[in-house]
Amino acid sequence: MLRYLTSGESHGPALTAIIEGLPAGLTLCRDYINKRLARRQGGYGRGGRMAIENDQVVFLSGVRGGITTGSPITLQIENRDWINWKEIMASDKSADLAQRMVTRPRPGHADLAGALKYDQRDIRNVLERASARETAARVAVGSVAEKLLEALDIIVIGYVLQIGRITISETSGYAQASQMERTDLRMYKEALSGSQFYCPDPKAEEAMKQEIDYARATGDSLGGVFEVCVFGLPPGLGSFVQWDRRLDGNLARSLMSIPSIKGVEIGLGFAASCLPGSLAHDEIYHRKGKGFYRQTNRAGGLEGGVTNGEPLIVRAAVKPIPTLYKPLHSVDLLTHESQLASVERADTCSVPAASVIGEAAVAWELSVALTDKFGGDTVDEMKKNYDAYMLRVKERSI
């Protein structure tokens, strides 16, 4: 079984992740992960913390000579800002607990609920772990998963669909990528990394920039929507036999666990609720030599919790950052006096960064589904199982 855990605080010494169950024989280098960590730190609208950090992963176990060994993989990302917080965040009794104490919970964060749940008088003990800084570790984990998908010629592409009121054109994004060959898709993904917004529509980018600039100038924040598309998936990943094995449910859970995500949809998503059944589903056709095929992909590549062979299309709604430089009304945790919420360093817009995290989350869930179905203690064994399955599917289809 493929699984992982992360640990670490926003201003602690480091973030750590342990991956268990990854097959041996996967080529894995730090640069591959670091490129994705850099993308998470980038994107227009990011705050001052990104000027301090320069996220770099270190392998502490499970990788030797650039190849996975089959042992648990330990990944660590140093927090450079730790040097400024080591007296406050020290793990021993030398910690200066009074300095930078937080007692005014921020609406939209885990501050108040977390303090009540864990009986904390200092909200810092909540916000340090609840912080989106933890997602750096998840991007590292998702990068390892993406490398496994690449070994099976599966391509995951995440991009910004909307920021505030600005949405990309209907001819860009999936509509554009779905017409491309594998080589072109890889180039398309690389080109998105060069955009300030990780957006496939250059015309929309300028309007997005203006929206973010206005929000920053007024002490406000913006949310939006990102989309993740996956090409090259086989039919049959996931299962309908138990609720917790349905791939759509696992994808939604993984994406919803990202801070600020408030909604997830697959394929037509909520739009399908407004349509008659005749316009909501993908009719099935067959042609000798080609096999089964669809002319539409309204289901977004998933039917009954199982991939159907079409590209996967998943979207997530990102709420505006809750920390505002014009803080909202709150109440002091200890005195119960009316106060303005605390202000911690934050972004104006995190949607581009969220698209990178979402890409990693989707890659992870797909790698879990692939290892569940094709198993293998080594990547070569997994590939042989995959190839044999695909041959059987092709023989049944043609």
Task: Please state, in angstroms and rounded to a whole number, the distance separating the CA atoms of residues 84 and 11.
Answer: 8
Question: 380 by DSSP, 3-state: which?
Answer: helix
**pLDDT exceeds cutoff 90 at 398:** no
**Residues of the chain with pLDDT > 90: what percent?**
90
Q: How confident is the model at residue 119 (pLDDT cuts 50, 70, 90)?
A: very high
In sequence order, the β-bridge partners of residue 293 are: 285
The structure tokens listed for 5 are 């855990």
pLDDT by residue (tens digit) across 329-353?
Answer: 999 999 999 999 988 777 899 999 9
Q: How confident is the model at residue 50 (pLDDT cuts 50, 70, 90)?
A: low
pLDDT score of 346: 76
C-alpha Rg value of the chain to the nearest Å? 22
Task: Please state, in angstroms and rounded to a whole number, the distance separating the CA atoms of residues 80 and 82.
Answer: 5
**DSSP H or E run through 182:** helix 182-193
Dihedral, 372, 373, 377, 380 alpha carbons, nearest 10? -140
Report yes or no: 37 and 144 within 8 Å, Cβ to Cβ. Answer: no
* Section 214-231 average pLDDT: 95
**Residues of the chain with pLDDT > 70: what percent?**
99
Of 209, 43, 71, 70, nearest in space to 135 by CA? 43
3-397: CATH homologous superfamily?
Chorismate synthase AroC (3.60.150.10)
Of 250, 58, 231, nearest in space to 156 by CA? 231
